[in-house]
Amino acid sequence: MTETTASIPAAGPQRSSLTGLVLRNPLGLLATALIIVVLLTAIFAPLIAPNDPAAVQIFKVNVAPGDGYLLGGDGSGRDIFSRLVWGARNTLIGAAIAVVVAALLGVTAGLFAGYFGKWYETASSWISDALMALPALIVLLALYQALGASIYLSMGIFGIMLSPGFYRLTRTLVKGVKNELYIDAARVSGLTDMRIIIRHILLVVRAPVVIQTSIVAGIAIVIQAGLEFLGLGDPSMPTWGGILQNGFQNMYNAPLGILWPGLAISITVASLVLLANAIRDAMQTGAAPSFRTPAIPAKYAAATPAPTPEEGVLLDIRDLVVAYPDGNGWREVVHGVTLQVRKGDVVGLVGESGSGKTQTAFAVLDLLSTGGKVLSGSITFDGEDLTKKSETEMRALRGRRIAYVPQEPMSNLDPSFRIGAQMVEPLMNVLGLSKAQAKARVLEMLARVGLPDPERTFNAYPHQVSGGMAQRVLIAGAVASSPDLLIADEPTTALDVTVQAEVLELLRELREEFHMTVVMVTHNFGVVADICDRVAVMKKGEIVEENAIGALFSNPQHPYTRMLLGSVLEDTEVRAYRAPAAKGNAA
């Protein structure tokens, strides 16, 4: 469905990176700014802190903010602000140790387990399950007596306890991509397994791993603060958890002492969580080209009046121009197409890939891709100009009076839901039927399109039916509401030859039974000859020839039409079978 384009002078597109998408999210920008502030504070702690964090002034015990202590003094007479600044460095180092250990162990094990599987996956999964079964906080409390008061060592052990999260995420992602065609192509080209893992698979898992890293960093900060709050850290080292413990002990004498470390921990952890959410949202949105919608060119600014309806014409397209934003301008994909479809006719839109036929059909359906716009022209359906209708008005037409059969049937059925559920819901919404009435109508149509066991198909998932059956399901869903116009976009492309013939015969029967008008989008002249009454040939977004089917095949006028017809393998000499020459005889 990729269309050849022509440009209205415009600058080239610029893609939005993942970083750009995150920073355009207000919460993502705020979270990033706060995390940068915390990181800079930790890095430049010696320059920012006005006092030695370990210096004790006995006359400033629990002193209120002021008098050289910006946030007041703690229970030992030390400057809380200086200790918070230095605590940022020590706390982030501890969290970084946990995250790095968890990521190195988990991601590495997940990559190899997901890629190689077999005994490596079994052993890694056993170890992961065993670590997840252990209560991390109790393990750290138990090891404290044996390993001493080093918070960094404790966080390293905690990183081991966190590694199963990275392992399970990475293994699942790798198993989902290791059998993709581009991975098989890399193997065939002679790349080693290690190079495939590093160059191809690691790139797929990196974004989810970044999200997991952000979340785990927040968890590590909370756990570290909890251990220090319980008194399991090094008292001589300023950390946020240690400052929180001191503030809690002196809460009645200096209530503000517990506020500052609590804010530091809360803001940092919340920022990490918000950053993870922003990255997730950016990944779901996708790093698609981002444009400011340019102004409509002056030659298209004036509204095109809809033509006077003609008797017997159901669909009347006049001077249709479809374009997409491209930098500072518009890139046209359909150039002034004019086409009339009379009631009861089957009209073929034929052309090679990129000719603009699918974009023309999508313009009728008002389903152009993001940014697509009808710049000029009119699309009149049964006397109404579709280009003037709102999305709500078009939604009322789609599915009821205008139906659509897509190509690649297996890609247009949701694998998460049974086929029946996907067919019943539209009938309930569009026709207002009850669930029982909609089910009865669906079973009736599944039988009508030739499926031998409608009830079984109704209860099946998409992967449980063949491609031909899936295409019949989509046709049944499209005609269930008895539409006036059916747009079929390459309905036989993904099917073998015998199934193609059956589907075309089915469409012919349904057209006569439901008195439908059909627009058949295809690149196959065999399909056109089989079912169409008229045909319009498209090239580079324009209709270059339109005629009745017999006249076009017998006397094509345009060189492009003659070229397409000449490309069809018909009436060629069949190569005869030649028996191999006997050994010893001349070949």
What domains can be seen in the chain, in order of their start residue? Answer: 26-56+73-285 (1.10.3720.10), 402-530 (3.40.50.300)
Mean pLDDT of 379-385: 90
Q: Evaluate if residue 263 carries a pLDDT over 90.
A: yes
320 — alpha (psi -120 to 50), left (phi > 0) or beta?
beta
**Interacting residues of 539 by C-beta distance below 8 A, sequence separation 6+:** 351, 352, 355, 560
pLDDT of residue 293: 67
Mean pLDDT of 331-346: 91
- pLDDT higher than threshold 90 for residue 43: yes
What's the pLDDT score for residue 287? 46
Per-residue pLDDT at 200: 86
Q: What is the pLDDT of residue 398?
A: 86
Residue 525 predicted with pLDDT over 90: no
Band the pLDDT of 11: cuts 50, 70, 90: very low
Per-residue pLDDT at 7 exceeds 50 = no
pLDDT of residue 570: 56
Q: 197-206: per-residue pLDDT in tens? A: 888 888 878 8
Whole-number pLDDT of residue 441: 92
| Average pLDDT in the chain | 84
Please tell me which residue, 564 or 455, carries the higher pLDDT value: 455
Chain centroid to CA 411: 14
Strand 329-342, strand 313-326: pairing: antiparallel
Average pLDDT over residues 33-48: 93
Confidence band, pLDDT 50/70/90 cuts, at residue 581:
low
Average pLDDT over residues 245-272: 90
Q: What pLDDT does 352 receive? A: 86
Residue of higher predicted confidence among 266 and 151:
266
Arithmetic mean of pLDDT, 428-433: 85
Q: Which is higher by pLDDT, 1 or 448?
A: 448
- Inform me whether the pLDDT recorded for 524 exceeds 70: yes
465, 453 contact by CB (below 8 A): no
The residues, ordered by sequence, that sit 6+ positions from 364 with a Cβ below 8 Å of its Cβ are: 315, 317, 379, 381, 386, 402, 487, 519
Mean pLDDT is lowest, of 51-55, 233-237, 494-498, 583-587, for: 583-587
Residue 304, pLDDT score: 64
Is the pLDDT assigned to residue 171 strictly greater than 60? yes
